[in-house]
Amino acid sequence: MLLITLLPKLIDVDSNGHTGRSLSVTSRSLVLLGAIIVQLILGTIYGYSIFWEPLSSRIFPETITEAQQASLLAQGIDISEMKVVADDAAIDRERAIQQGYLKYAFSICVLSFAGVMVFAGRIQDIKGPRFPAIIGATLMGGGFLVAGLMNSPIVFFIAHSLFAGLVALLALMLFHAFFHDIDQEKHAMVKYAPLAIITIVVVASVSLAEQYVGKFQELDRLFLLWGTVGFLSGAGVGFAYVCPIAALVKWFPNHKGLVSGLAVAGFGFGAYLFSQKWGALGFIGEFGITRFFVVHGLVCLVGISLGALLLRNPPDTETKPALVSETTWQQTLRQPAFYVLWTMFFSASVAGLGVIGIMKLFAGEQLVTAAQEAGSILTDSDTAALMIKGASAVGVLAIFNALGRIVWGFISDRIGRTTTFVAMFTLQAITMFSLGAVKSELTLIIAASMVGFNYGGAFALFPSATADLFGAKNLGANYGWVFTSYGIAGVVGIAAGNAAKILTGSYIAAFSVAGSLCIASAALALWLHRMKTADSLE
């Protein structure tokens, strides 16, 4: 209802608050539509958890016990490609190890996403939103397409050489961004493309000479997965993610929080659609994971490209007087306000990602613990049923993740960014400190919804706050640097949760640390406001 009520007013009011013709309603509508399409497809990376189970059988050999080995040999069945372990408990451990290796694909994806945004944002600022978004569509779609062909030997050869060339190109462009004059940045891709091509040829020759392809079986497939669904898809998201946000902030300067929230709500909702039985999960169950990768790769390539074609900057972007000082990314990195904002985003991301990464397991364990404390004697089937009930919290978290992006963005436009930051961080801190006490299905769902709601709000507030502090003209590059905190938090949050579980037997300690960071960030928001006010008075 909120969205239906706000959209007509949002689209029909120009930056001066008048219903006018200087910025056409049709253009605004198309840019908003394109932004939502792009973000909806990009958001499917949050649904990666549905891949690990079906990928295990594709990448790793079947694991059997010694008893099963004897039985199969007696039947004359070839077990040369199977892995033999002592007993069922050893099989469980082996599967956990395999799942851990597969999950690195998501960590690589998040790091690639955040890292690539540093210079992809700058390309967006120079070339506009369409060009980098189409690059993102190509990288993300290509990543999934190549992963879908992982059973073809020639794919390993091509993917290995192309991946090495792309890494070289991105590394050289990043080097150029740091050490060359800013006016020459638009020539970086052309300048360094020949070096990337040379790298491709060298790697291809070495690969053939050493007969690399096929030597390591499951290791080949694992590295292919990390390089495609991990690195390439993450790079694609990094190129495309900031484009809709930067365009919308320029089209709707008086509603930066709301339009940022609307755009990235698609990112949050994409994960929910992706993980349903009538969505990707059902398709994988019926047709298999590799066929799904091919189909999803085509969807990414076509869908994001079509959305990108709807994106453009308003015609008067360059001539419109700026309400705040426009700073380049080099100038932004010299301002203390940047580091305060970076730390705040890090805190929000640690809290959110730390819970998202383990919510399915945590919720199930809480229900099992509650049943045991009540005196119930649980069978294996009872425990499995409780774990499934706990999984319902994941879907709720995804929905509220999307909703929080819209609501917090809208609120921030009305009451101010500082007040909204303080409210959001305080509410998230209370939720973090309360997680250890929730042990019923209802309270777990409420807690998951609050975590998702507050975590989602960060993705509406921080791009708009970046534009407030450093201007909209170079938002792509500036927000790219702020967003690096997300990539680091993706590793730290998950690692903290795992460490707490190993050392203490629960995740409570990690939640308490995240809650403390949120309290500190609420205080930092107030400090940031004082810094901004002091600067405006000078």
Distances (CA, A) of 260 to 67, 98, 181, 277, 425: 58, 38, 31, 29, 19
What per-residue confidence (pLDDT) applies to 204? 61
> Are residues 360 and 424 located together in one domain of the fold?
yes
Residue 287's domain spans which residues?
24-72+84-314
> Are residues 326 and 433 located together in one domain of the fold?
yes
| 19 part of a folded domain | no
Closest C-alpha among 227, 214, 215, 83 to residue 151 = 214
Residues 144, 146, 150, 153: what is their CA dihedral angle, to the nearest 10 degrees?
180
User: Which two structure tokens, joined as six digits, stand for 455?
Assistant: 């975590």
> Are residues 344 and 455 located together in one domain of the fold?
yes
Residue 195 DSSP SS3? helix
**What's 380's domain CATH number?**
1.20.1250.20
pLDDT 10s digits, 255-295:
877 877 887 787 777 777 776 677 777 788 788 888 888 99
Distances (CA, A) of 311 to 15, 115, 314, 359: 18, 23, 10, 35
Q: Residue 64: phi, psi to the nearest 5?
A: -130, 160
What per-residue confidence (pLDDT) applies to 524? 94
| 17 part of a folded domain | no
The torsion region of residue 376 among left (phi > 0), alpha (psi -120 to 50) and beta comes to beta
> Are residues 357 and 301 located together in one domain of the fold?
no
Cβ(147)–Cβ(178) below 8 Å: no
> Are residues 139 and 287 located together in one domain of the fold?
yes
User: Which two structure tokens, joined as six digits, stand for 179?
Assistant: 């050490």
Closest C-alpha among 450, 399, 449, 460 to residue 262 = 460
Q: Which residue has the tokens 């690059």?
A: 135
> Are residues 200 and 303 located together in one domain of the fold?
yes
Sign of CA dihedral 215, 219, 221, 224: negative
Angle between helices 441-470 and 380-415 (to 10 degrees): 30
> Are residues 361 and 269 located together in one domain of the fold?
no
User: Which two structure tokens, joined as six digits, stand for 265?
Assistant: 């709500």
What per-residue confidence (pLDDT) applies to 173? 65
Cβ(432)–Cβ(351) below 8 Å: yes
Q: Which residue has the tokens 């790793």?
A: 60
Distances (CA, A) of 505 to 199, 382, 385, 453, 501: 47, 22, 22, 27, 5
> Are residues 307 and 331 located together in one domain of the fold?
no
Residue 410 DSSP SS3? helix
> Are residues 298 and 363 located together in one domain of the fold?
no
The set of residues, in sequence order, having a beta carbon less than 8 Å from that of 128 and lying 6+ positions away, is 311, 312, 313
Q: Which amino acid is at 146?
A: V
Tally of domains within the chain:
2
The count of other CB atoms within 10 Å of the CB of residue 274 is: 22
Of 314, 331, 355, which residue sits at a domain end?
314
Alpha carbons 243 and 164: distance in angstroms, whole number: 26
| 16 part of a folded domain | no
User: Which two structure tokens, joined as six digits, stand for 13?
Assistant: 């009011």
Of 314, 343, 360, which residue sits at a domain end?
314
The count of other CB atoms within 10 Å of the CB of residue 9 is: 10
Secondary structure element (H or E) that encloses residue 527, with its range? helix 508-537
Alpha carbons 212 and 404: distance in angstroms, whole number: 48
Cα Rg for the chain, rounded, in angstroms?
24
Alpha carbons 244 and 310: distance in angstroms, whole number: 10
> Are residues 249 and 336 located together in one domain of the fold?
no
Closest C-alpha among 205, 228, 454 to residue 347 = 454
What per-residue confidence (pLDDT) applies to 149? 79
Q: What is the DSSP letter of 379?
A: -
| 9 part of a folded domain | no
Alpha carbons 131 and 97: distance in angstroms, whole number: 40
| 148 part of a folded domain | yes
What per-residue confidence (pLDDT) applies to 16? 45
3-state DSSP of 118-172: HHHHHHHHHHCCHHHHHHHHHHHHHHHHHHHCCCCHHHHHHHHHHHHHHHHHHHH
Sign of CA dihedral 333, 336, 341, 345: positive
Of 314, 347, 377, which residue sits at a domain end?
314
Cβ(265)–Cβ(456) below 8 Å: yes
**What's 140's domain CATH number?**
1.20.1250
| 11 part of a folded domain | no
Residue 5 DSSP SS3? helix
| Pair type for strands 63-65 and 83-85 | parallel
| 422 part of a folded domain | yes
> Are residues 190 and 143 located together in one domain of the fold?
yes
User: Which two structure tokens, joined as six digits, stand for 146?
Assistant: 């190549």
> Are residues 284 and 349 located together in one domain of the fold?
no
| 440 part of a folded domain | yes
Per-residue pLDDT of the chain (538 residues; tens, 9 = 90+): 455 455 555 555 444 444 444 446 777 888 888 988 998 899 888 777 677 777 777 776 666 666 666 666 677 766 666 666 667 676 667 666 776 677 778 878 888 888 888 888 888 888 888 999 999 999 999 989 888 877 666 666 666 666 666 666 666 666 666 655 545 555 555 566 666 666 665 666 555 545 555 454 667 777 778 888 888 899 999 999 888 888 888 888 778 778 778 877 877 777 777 766 777 777 887 888 888 889 999 999 999 999 999 998 887 654 444 555 788 888 888 899 999 999 999 999 988 887 776 776 677 777 777 777 777 776 767 677 776 666 667 778 878 888 888 899 889 888 988 999 999 999 999 999 988 888 777 888 888 889 989 998 898 899 889 988 888 788 878 888 998 898 888 778 777 777 777 777 777 888 889 899 999 999 999 998 887 765 554 4
